Structure 1
């Protein structure tokens, strides 16, 4: 089994201030843990290309794209930031990083559909699942998974794709983009009530939203995956699966108050793999979303990637 690892140095150059939890150090921590675990040499490392604006335009309005492209500070002022909201801002390299993040997801999609690789993990930032069609928010600029899923449907001709989101926060942007689109099934769990305070009000029939209270642990999550996610995925028979892979539901991550550990992420990945092998020719593209405790993030991504690469 070939698992590709997509990333780019530009993704480390975007930053929103030394205080900000969504930091370049997140990617370095993942890379260090993969090396320490001695699985880095078993992955197919690939440099993420830049997405085309036409890739973004399948998902985002012209104004949303313009706002990010035109408001990045000059590279001569690399320490300046342009605020988009209270916790999301642009620096001189955000545009380039955002193109690489979306470009990684699109390139991985093509490589998987073309059977160059079986699956891929995209170690990218900015993350994407809060970005709606019209605005960036919640640390996210463009919705990387949505861009890739639209590419699979509208460029590569797939008929059905699934999106699995296990971030601690509801993927409100992804839901807004695909709400009611019967070509897409989205399954997710998320802490509720919690930012962005969405996902519970009359979701469309193609959304399997499972809100869970704070302090829910792995046994609760495994039960809901078995009872809610897997039957829906089996019935939908996706031709490809995309993962919004957030690791901030880890019990050591104080961004949320859920209680997952590495073994839970490995188990969830195994369930997704089984569905993919049955219905999707094993085709999976996983894209990094949240995860802010550096050690927990790195260990959890390593557990996730080990399962994708069939190294466990």
Structure 2
């Protein structure tokens, strides 16, 4: 059994967004599902800390970070047509980014083998200078930069399996060969990025791998793409850390898209990424929540994801 960290915090519920699909009920469903599982007490708790504005600015413009803080103080309700905020959203977003950084501390120090961060607001659509698609700050991007700048890791591989392409993450590192971004996502679909020919630019050419999936793609389509394209890319790149942008909205029961994955597929993809991490980076793997909007599908998929991180040889135990 692995030492698997689990980060969450009740403060995330204070990012109040109802009746928006990205709402506090998502985390409540996850937490209730985990607490009723037999393995919950085997997880190693990670208490998120707040990121500083300077840490957020490793990925985002300082002026944008300040504007989010001010908008929350001014009780602005929307940062854009899709992105709802409340008074506590800025602090919740700092705590979301901080969860990933604290998990990386634990990983590098060898206290845990892998980790899942149940955070909100999510992050992968957030651009350098603006909010987008329910996202304020790019949690996985900030975690990746923290791993490099503070912890001294050289190369990071990000796998984004959310049903929507992570435009913000891709754009943040599109010309940077030290952070490899790969995504499986429904295409064409929101946000419109993620075509197969988008492979990076300048020094980063070849370190973006988009695996666009047709609507109604299923488990076999995804597993084939991961096994035949993504895993070989990980093996060639040899990162020091793998980060998963773990959205669960590609589930067949999710209302926001048309991909037809079963819960079991998320377990299988988790297993494949764990095997790849063992091969290239001593098993170091960090997973951070992105989307997933059907409470039952989301909580069941997260449960299996974490259970696999904890005990890949017998995830149903």
TM category, shorter? over 0.9
CA contact (8 A) 2:198 2:208 kept: no
Query: SS of the counterpart of 1:99?
Result: helix
* 2:198 equivalent to 1:202: yes
CA contact (8 A) 2:49 2:102 kept: yes
CA contact (8 A) 1:56 1:147 kept: yes
CA contact (8 A) 2:249 2:293 kept: yes
Q: Matches of residues 125-164 of structure 1 in structure 2 within 5 Å?
A: 125-164=120-159
TM-score, scaled relative to structure 2: 0.94
Tell me the CA shift for residue 65 of structure 1.
0.2
Q: Which residue of 2 aligns with 1:219?
A: 220
TM-score, scaled relative to structure 1: 0.96
2:109 corresponds to which of 106, 114, 122: 114
Tell me the CA shift for residue 63 of structure 1.
1.7
Query: SS of the counterpart of 2:245?
Result: strand
Q: Which residue of 1 aligns with 2:168?
A: 173
* 2:247 equivalent to 1:246: yes
1:228-252: CA deviation from partner (whole Å, max 9, x where unpaired)? 1011011111110111000000000
Tell me the CA shift for residue 81 of structure 1.
4.3
Runs of 4+ off more than 4 Å: none
Q: Which residue of 1 aligns with 2:182?
A: 187
CA contact (8 A) 1:166 1:190 kept: yes
Tell me the CA shift for residue 207 of structure 1.
0.6
- Distance (Å, rounded) in 1 between the aligned partners of 2:73 and 2:261: 38
Q: Which residue of 1 aligns with 2:38?
A: 38
- Distance (Å, rounded) in 1 between the aligned partners of 2:95 and 2:213: 33
Q: Which runs of 5+ in 1 are unaligned?
A: 75-79
Q: Which residue of 1 aligns with 2:13?
A: 12
Q: Which residue of 2 aligns with 1:56?
A: 56
Q: Which moved more, 1:287-296 or 1:204-213?
A: 204-213
Q: Which residue of 2 aligns with 1:307?
A: 308
Tell me the CA shift for residue 179 of structure 1.
0.4
- Distance (Å, rounded) in 1 between the aligned partners of 2:93 and 2:42: 27
Q: Which moved more, 1:249-258 or 1:47-56?
A: 47-56
Query: SS of the counterpart of 1:208?
Result: strand
CA contact (8 A) 2:187 2:215 kept: yes
CA contact (8 A) 1:2 1:43 kept: yes
Q: Which moved more, 1:28-37 or 1:120-129?
A: 28-37
CA contact (8 A) 1:73 1:82 kept: no
CA contact (8 A) 1:68 1:90 kept: no
Q: How many matched pairs?
A: 306
Q: Which runs of 5+ in 2 are unaligned?
A: 201-205
RMSD (Å) for aligned C-alpha atoms: 1.1
Tell me the CA shift for residue 73 of structure 1.
4.0
Q: Which residue of 2 aligns with 1:277?
A: 278
- Distance (Å, rounded) in 2 between the aligned partners of 1:37 and 1:54: 38
- Distance (Å, rounded) in 2 between the aligned partners of 1:184 and 1:214: 28
Query: SS of the counterpart of 2:269?
Result: helix
Tell me the CA shift for residue 82 of structure 1.
2.4
